[in-house]
Amino acid sequence: MPIPRSPIDVVVPSYRGEAQTRRAIESVLAARVERPFELTVIDDAGPEPALAAWLRGEAHRFTLRVHDRNRGFVATANEG
């Protein structure tokens, strides 16, 4: 009997760098995978309004968590 393949979690912390963040998220969503996954993006209260707006607009494609204040990369990654 095959071993069940449970879903994996993919976490993308976001702070700044709209183009880079969009590329990273799009590459995860477009990846051909053998295993289901859950993509969670965490907006760490970044200073780029355009990036925050894009994340909110695309949140139907992934789970979006939004911080009300910056917590830093390590805390954000650990939260994910």
Dump pLDDT digits (tens) for 25-57.
999 999 998 888 999 999 999 999 999 999 999
If DSSP codes are grouped into helix, strand and coil, which group holds residue 42?
strand
Residue 14's SS3 state is strand
pLDDT band (50, 70, 90) for residue 7: confident
In angstroms, the CA 2 to CA 50 distance is 45
